[in-house]
Every structure is written in structure tokens, then in C-alpha cells.
Amino acid sequence: MRALSQRSLKTPLVLLLISSTIVGSVAYALFAQAFTSAGASNLTGVNNFAILANTYTNTGAGTVLNGDLGYTVPPANPPTVTGTTFTSTSLTYISAEAIQAKLIAFLNDPAQSGACTTTLTAATVLDSLPQPLTPGVYCIAGAVSINTVTTLSGDGVYIFRLGGALNTVAGSIVKLAGNAKADNVSWVPVGATTLGANSVFAGNVLSNAAITVGTKVSLDGRILSNGAVTTGPFDAITAPKGITPPVDTTPPVITLLGANPQVIQVGGVYTELGATVADPDNVGLVAIINSSAVNTSVVGSYIVTYNAVDPAGNQAAQVTRIVSVVAIIPPPLSGVVITLSGQTSCHALGGTWTDASSTCTVSTLTIISGNTLVIASNVTLSNTGLITDLGTITNSGPVANPGTITIGPTGILTTTNTFDNTGTITSSGTITNNGPVTNGLTGTITSSGLITNTLTGTITNLGTITNSGPVTNAGTIANSGTLTNGPTGVITDSGTIINKNAGIITTSGTITLPTSGILTNELGGTVTNSLNIINSGSITNSGALVSSGPITQSATGIIVNTGTGLITNSGILTSSGTITNSGPITNSGPITNSGSITNSAAITNSAVITNSGSISDSCGGSISGVVVGNPIVNACVP
């Protein structure tokens, strides 16, 4: 990779996709822009434009544009253009407008283009400020006007973020001195821009509000707009030449994503799987995809082509994908067991086989009621589309689901190997987990059916799980995402539920802990109960536990609130077990204790505590409010 100076960094590319992924679509790649957070704005892609506009109007003769002109609506009186004129259907024009929008966002974002070095909170006459103005970011809340002479002096970047209009008085001057360059001056007004007659101006005006250039105006810079631009007679606008970037001779490299060949059942929908484009001199290049040959209504093999080009014109080597449209596979008779064990069985399911990883990738698969799909231990099933399970699916081999799995009322999913979900699983049937299940950051699991996590099962949630049915846990559930137990949901935990840092468990249903059940809410975790928690096991809270519903604890139940834990209770707490508190508890609901409470922190109580058991206040402990029954024992020994 050749070394580039900051000023000459190449411009990344972004794809403007002019089609959807329907049959016969063609995608076109257009150039867009990304930016660094230091130095001058990267103007590659718009640097040759004297005027870039949506609607362009020229009111008289004699106007000369030294550079390119781009517009959607043309002028009735064309000016003299020394460069090239681009219309709205031109890829160069479409790309330039996309870059203009990114430039405005870049210049207005302090995180990208720099924090304000000068802040003015009202309308400002620039030439009334101490002259000359030096490089920096000028943030001005109101309108800005130039009445006489404003001098910009010094080699550096000038950004004028304006909260109002930009106006120059007739005959006024913006003067560049001390090696200041028009390329490095950016004016970004929110309101309209008016350059007065016979004025001299320098820099790039970037705005989508109306821009009007009076008669005989001399502009060393550019007008970059997606709005209306009007020039008067005898104007001269010159796009600065800037610095020629080094020559780029390295072509991009295209890598396909997804299966090749891609198998689709006849009559199905073609979905483009995409490709990545790598280039050491450019970031963000995207492929030009031509899938116009694909016809999903006719069985056959079709070629999809992938091309890419960088701003220097270097063409990537073309890459192709075969799309195989196959006959519809008739569903097997009920009672059939299908074992996915290799390439032949994968193709029988309409999948694509990848030999190197022993992976069968499916985009459409239905297991009818009474049938069973067994995934052999030597095969990975990857679902990129839709699996509908009305029968039974058993995974002895790994499953990766970035797509959608729907488990119907008769459907059964039994997992014994790794199951990774980054897509969507919706179940009204039965899920039994004996192995490791990971619901990723983008993963969503919604269940109104039965979920059983056995003794050997682990469920790790980084995404979203929503439950409205019965859940039985004898294994481990670790939550770092969002777990919601709805009003009809019942979670019976005889294993371990751990709510990690940033994890959220919200229950408006019932959570029951038998004697072996463990619920741990770690520091940074939040558990919210609005219906019912029944505890005969162990609850340890080091995070936030908020309850407006009843908590009922039996004689074997243990609640421990650690020093970092915070319990806020406005419901009914009934305990015949053990409560050990080392952190703050705020209570506005009735507490009935026939067990043991040991307290070494502050319990702020605005309700009644009815105590027929023992309450022991050790050193550092305090309990406010009304306690009825057995008195509090002060166990603090100095």
C-alpha cells in the first residue's frame, strides 16, 4: 500500500443501489464519501464542480463557471462552462449529491470535523471581529453578514457553522492571506445565502437552502447544494484546483458472501446474498451486481456477475455466482425421519452444501407434522431464510440461525449441540435444550409454548427473549440482554438464573424457585417484578431489584442483598425463610416476617413490618418505620 498524506487521502466509496433484490434486478455502484476527523474536508468526487445544484437558474449572459456544472432542473440561459455538465441521470451527479450530504453532516459534527474554537450566540458581522481571522471552527448561532472586508489568514482549516443565513453586502470582500486556501474554507449556513453584486468571495458554500449570487460576483470556491441556486449576469465562479492525489493502480478484490451455487426452488424469490469489496487505497467500495439473468419461474442455472471499480478507474476481476433454480421437492409422507448427514441429504432438503465446513445452508425448509429432521453430529445446519417446524427437529450437530425459525403448535425443537441464533425464533410449540444455546446481540426469541432447559443445558442471552408460556429451567440461564416474562408466563427455576451486568429481567408473570433454585442478580443488572415471585431457594441481589408485586418466601427460602444491591419494594413481601441484608432497601409495601431477617444496612420503611420471627440489627444497620410484633434485636457489639 502506498503512503498517502492526510491532504491526499483517497476517497472511500459507497454503493447507491438502484434496484431491489427482485428477479432480474441490476445494482449500480456510485461513489460516496467518508471523512477523517482531522484536516481539511475530503472533496474528492465534488472538487471539480463550480456549481452543484438541484434547480439551477442563470439570469443573464456573461457568467463563466471554471469547473463542472451539475443540476436536475437546467437553466433557461446556460452559462459558459469550462468543464463538464452533468444531469440528474449521470452517475457522477448522483454520487456528488450523496457526497455533498455527507460533507454537510461531517462539517456540522464536532466529533468529526472539530469542536468550536470560536462561539458567537447572536447574528454577527464578520468584519466587525478582530482581523484577520485565523484557522478554526467558528460556531455562530445567528445570521452572518460581511459588510466590508473579512480577511482569512493562515494555512489551515476554516469552518463556519452558521445557525442562520449568510449574506455579503455589494462590493464586500473575503480576502485570503498568509497561505489560506479556498479549498480549506467551508461555509455551512442553515438559512439562505446571498452574495451581493460586485462582491469577492472565497471558499465552499455547502447548503440545501436557496443560494443567490448577484451580478458580477467573483467566487474562488464552489457552490455545493441540493437545493435552488441562482446566478446573475457576469459572475465568475472558479473551482480551486487543489492538490493532485497520487496515482492509484491497485484494483479492488471481490469476495462473495453466502452460498455459491445458490439454490432456489422454482417459483421462489431470489434474494441477493451480496459480496464484499476490499481495496488497500479505498474503504467502503461496494460491488456492482447484475442479476438480470435470474428467472426463478424456470428451472435452470443462471449467472450473477459482480464487478467493482475504484475512483481511479481500476477494475476488479469479475466474480460470478451460479443461481440454481430447482424443481419443487414434494414433501415426504408423514412419519418419515430425515437425517441430514452430508451433501446428498442437504441437496434433498433444497440446501447448498459447503464441503470445507460440512455445512448445509438452507433458505426455505418446512418439516411437516409427524416428520423428524435429525442433524447429524458431523454436519452444521445454517438457516439464512425461513425454517418452519411443525414436526420435530433434533440437532446433534451445530445450528446457526441468522434467518427466521417458526415453531408451530405441533413443532418440537430438541437441541443437544451448539445452537447460535442471531435471527428470529418464534415458537408456539416445544423447545427442549440439552446443550449450549446462544441468543446473540441481534437475536430475538419469542415463545408462547413450552421451553425446557435441562440439567446439561445452558442458555446465554445477549439479545431479546420474550416469554408468555411455561419455562422449566434445571440448567443455567445467563442473561446479559433483555428477558421479559409476560403476564401468562411461568418460569420455574430449579437450576440457576444469572442476570449479568446490563442484563434486564422484567416479569409480569410468575417466577418460582424450588429449594434448589438460584436467582442471582449481579452488579449492574436489573430485575423488575410486577406480579409474583415465589422463593423456596436462593435469591442473591447485587444490582437493582424492583418489586411492585408480591414476593413470597418459604421456610427454606433465602434472600441476600449484598452491599452493592438495592431493593425497592412497593408490593407485599411475606417471608418465613431467611433474609440477609447488607445493602439499602426501600420499602413502601407491607412486610410479614415469620422467619429471620439479619440487617447491616439501612432499611427505609414507610409501611408496616409485622414480625413474628426475628429481626436482628447488626452494626451499621437501621430500620425505620413501624414494626409490629416481636421487637428488633440490636446485635451490634462495639
Lowest mean pLDDT among 20-29, 119-128, 186-195, 540-549: 20-29
Local confidence band at 23 (pLDDT 50, 70, 90 cut-offs):
very low
User: Which pLDDT score, from 0 to 100, does residue 554 have?
Assistant: 94
Q: What is the pLDDT of residues 161-216, one digit of tens each?
A: 999 999 999 999 999 999 999 999 999 999 999 999 999 999 999 999 999 999 99
**Lowest pLDDT segment from 82-96, 401-415, 417-431, 498-512:** 82-96
Distance CA 499, CA 622 (A): 28
At 328 the pLDDT is 58
Amino acid at 242: G
| Cell numbers standing for residue 157 | 482549516
Instruction: Say how far residue 427 (Cα) sits from the centre of its chain.
Output: 26
User: Are the C-beta atoms of 228 and 71 separated by less than 8 Å?
Assistant: no
**pLDDT class of 333 with cuts at 50, 70, 90:** low
Measured distance CA(631)–CA(627) in Å, rounded:
7
Contacts of 473 (CB under 8 A, 6+ apart): 453, 491, 492, 493, 494, 495, 496, 497
> What pLDDT, on a 0 to 100 scale, did the predictor assign at position 311?
67
Domain ranges of the chain: 49-238, 468-638
Query: Do 504 and 482 touch, CB atoms closer than 8 A?
Result: yes
Q: How many CA atoms lie within 13 A of 379 on its CB side?
A: 23
pLDDT above 50 (res 29) = no
Give me the count of residues in the chain. Answer: 638
Per-residue confidence band for 242, with pLDDT thresholds at 50, 70 and 90: low
Q: Is the pLDDT of residue 426 over 70?
A: yes
Average pLDDT over residues 394-418: 96
pLDDT value at residue 104 = 93
Residue 59 has pLDDT above 90, yes or no: yes
What the block records as the C-alpha cell of 7 is 491532504
Q: What is the pLDDT of residues 566-576, one digit of tens each?
A: 999 998 999 99
Q: Could you report the per-residue pLDDT of 616-638, keeping only the tens digit for each? A: 999 888 999 899 999 999 888 87
d(C-alpha 10, C-alpha 97), whole Å: 18
User: pLDDT tens, 567-606?
Assistant: 999 989 999 989 998 989 999 989 999 999 999 999 999 9
Q: What percent of the chain has pLDDT above 90?
A: 75
pLDDT at 630: 94
Residues 6+ apart with CB under 8 A from 241: none
% of the chain surpassing 70 pLDDT: 91
Instruction: Determine contact, residues 23/295, Cβ cutoff 8 Å.
Output: yes
Q: What is the pLDDT of residues 259-308, one digit of tens each?
A: 888 888 888 889 999 999 998 877 667 888 999 999 999 988 999 999 98
